[in-house]
Amino acid sequence: MKNVHDVIVIGLGVMGASTLWRAAQKCTKVLGIDAAGPTHCYGSSHGESRIFRRAYWEGEQYLPLLNHADFLWHELAQSTDKKILFHTGGIFIGPKSSSIVDGSIKTANRGGIDHEVLTSSNIRGFLPAFNVHDGMHAVYEPGAYAISARDSRLEMMNEAVRHGARIEFGDNVVCLENHEAGVRATTKRGCTHYAKSVIVTTGPWMTNNLMKELTEHLEPRQVPIYWFSPKAKSERYFLKENFPVFLYEFENGDILYGVPSISSSEPGVKIGFHNRQQTPANADWKNTPIQQKHITEISEAITSIFPKLESLPTHVKSCFYTMSTDESFLIGKSKTLKKAYFASACSGHGYKFAPAIGDALANMAVGQKPCFSLSAFSVDRFNST
């Protein structure tokens, strides 16, 4: 007699890990499968830190997910002795006609989110680490925080196992097929698993063989991330107690983001471009060298905005963004597999949403309604006339 799982989660980056955590609390037989190990650095979920903010310039449609994610991040934090949330506050800076500032204010007002609007002189007095030019303004969100990316993802998997989930690392699912009332999953090693429902969260590998129906809507891109050390006698300005997570919009629309060091193992302040230096890439390209022109570009930005940081990075890594054509998420049910669900195309801003998206996917997989609407993230939006 074949062993049928209630839910199989394929891909255990932060989306899959959060889905596994939430699914394990809703049903008894849950399996997670990942092609690599628990701490690999090839996808979009590795590294020390990510930003959480609710004054979301990208749009009010994200508010229900953000509110639920915020609740679940704190639930996860209470379940572990590890510190996974660092309440730094967040500042979002831009010129007078700034999408980031205007959008953050709009969402903050709509969502009743505590915030303060600052002038350039306010910013310089409040945060001397920043060299902000006259005419810039900002939104400060005191409730924003940094998330320990590696530890929070591992804790999600630990919580899933504590609730009875099983995890298989080092094998990847190469085929999904409809089978009776559910799905059959076949792995590269030749294992066959059966499930009432499967959830695919394989990030940049999403369209390799499992969700080809999404191919035209997804593009993996490699994006460099940098770390910078404070100059001598300037270390205090960049401590996590004094330096918030930030977004900085230039006059031309380029966006820089940053996070203070939240771990003693981290090689400095993490800074990168959000909407520049994106190189279309195959998801199986690993450890691709960073282009020198990109290092020069980021160093010029650091010299301008953060004169108290060394301009050359102490460390450089690559991360994957899986982009959709409108830079928003794809969450929903497969049209070709009757009991398969997916989330992808987080487009470089999805980590903070992972607990909420994972909870929604787990609900759908066990026949329950998510606690917020996912209509804004349906693939059908690309087919509307």
Q: What is the DSSP string of 158-214?
A: HHHHHTT-EEEES--EEEEEEETTEEEEEETTS-EEEEEEEEE--GGGTTTTT-GGG
With respect to residue 353, please indicate whether it lies within any of the assigned structural domains: yes
User: Is the pLDDT score of 241 beyond 70?
Assistant: yes
Q: Are residues 312 and 232 in the same domain?
A: yes
With respect to residue 356, please indicate whether it lies within any of the assigned structural domains: yes
Last residue of a domain, one of 281, 307, 323: 323
Q: Give pLDDT tens digits for 339-369.
A: 999 999 888 899 999 999 999 999 999 999 9
Residues 6+ apart with CB under 8 A from 371: 68, 359, 360, 363
Kindly give the pairing relationship between strand 182-187 and strand 269-273. Answer: unpaired
Residue 220's Cβ-count burial label (10 Å; 0-12, 13-18, 19+) is: buried
- Using CA atoms, how far apart are residues 153 and 162, in angstroms rounded to an integer? 14
pLDDT value, residue 286: 66
With respect to residue 104, please indicate whether it lies within any of the assigned structural domains: yes
Looking up residue 157, the CATH number of its domain turns out to be 3.50.50.60
Q: Are residues 238 and 316 in the same domain?
A: yes
pLDDT value, residue 113: 98
With respect to residue 352, please indicate whether it lies within any of the assigned structural domains: yes
Q: Give pLDDT tens digits for 37-72.
A: 888 777 777 778 999 999 999 999 999 999 999 999
Q: Are 9 and 111 in contact (CB under 8 A)?
A: no
The mean pLDDT value of the chain amounts to 94
Kindly give the pairing relationship between strand 255-259 and strand 330-333. Answer: unpaired
Angle of the 99-111 helix axis to the 63-78 helix axis, nearest 10 = 80
User: Is the pLDDT score of 82 beyond 70?
Assistant: yes
Q: Are residues 313 and 286 in the same domain?
A: yes
Last residue of a domain, one of 323, 350, 366: 323
Structural domain count, the chain = 2
Last residue of a domain, one of 323, 345, 363: 323
Q: Are residues 106 and 189 in the same domain?
A: no
Q: Are residues 308 and 339 in the same domain?
A: no
Secondary structure in 3-state letters for 65-103: HHHHHHHHHHHHHHCCCCCCEECCCEEEEECCCCHHHHH
pLDDT value, residue 287: 63
Q: Are residues 39 and 163 in the same domain?
A: yes
Instruction: Place 209 in a pLDDT band, splitting at 50, 70 and 90.
Output: confident
Instruction: Give the domain extent around 111.
Output: 96-137+219-323
Determine phi and psi for 352, rounding to 5 degrees: -60, -25
Q: Are residues 256 and 270 in the same domain?
A: yes
User: Is the pLDDT score of 383 beyond 90?
Assistant: no
Q: Are residues 169 and 305 in the same domain?
A: no
With respect to residue 192, please indicate whether it lies within any of the assigned structural domains: yes
Q: Are residues 182 and 234 in the same domain?
A: no
pLDDT value, residue 47: 79
Looking up residue 266, the CATH number of its domain turns out to be 3.30.9.10
What number is the average pLDDT over the span 188-211? 92
- Look at the alpha carbons of 353, 356, 359, 364 in this order and tell me if their dihedral is positive or negative: negative
Q: Are residues 254 and 297 in the same domain?
A: yes
pLDDT value, residue 40: 77
Phi-psi region of 332 (alpha: psi -120 to 50; beta: other; left: phi over 0): left
Tell me which residue of 129, 315, 308 sits closest to 232, measured CA to CA. 308
Q: Are residues 231 and 253 in the same domain?
A: yes
With respect to residue 68, please indicate whether it lies within any of the assigned structural domains: no
Looking at residue 235, its amino acid is E
pLDDT value, residue 142: 99
With respect to residue 155, please indicate whether it lies within any of the assigned structural domains: yes
With respect to residue 54, please indicate whether it lies within any of the assigned structural domains: no
Q: Are residues 289 and 170 in the same domain?
A: no
Both tokens of 384, joined, read: 């509307």
The DSSP secondary structure of 212-226, one letter per residue, reads GGGGGGEEEEEEEEE
Instruction: Place 81 in a pLDDT band, splitting at 50, 70 and 90.
Output: very high
Residue 252's Cβ-count burial label (10 Å; 0-12, 13-18, 19+) is: exposed
User: Is the pLDDT score of 1 beyond 60?
Assistant: no
Tell me which residue of 72, 332, 324 sits closest to 201, measured CA to CA. 332
User: Is the pLDDT score of 385 beyond 80?
Assistant: no
The DSSP secondary structure of 22-69, one letter per residue, reads HHHTT-S-EEEEESS-TT--SSSS-SSEEEE-SS-TT-GGGHHHHHHH
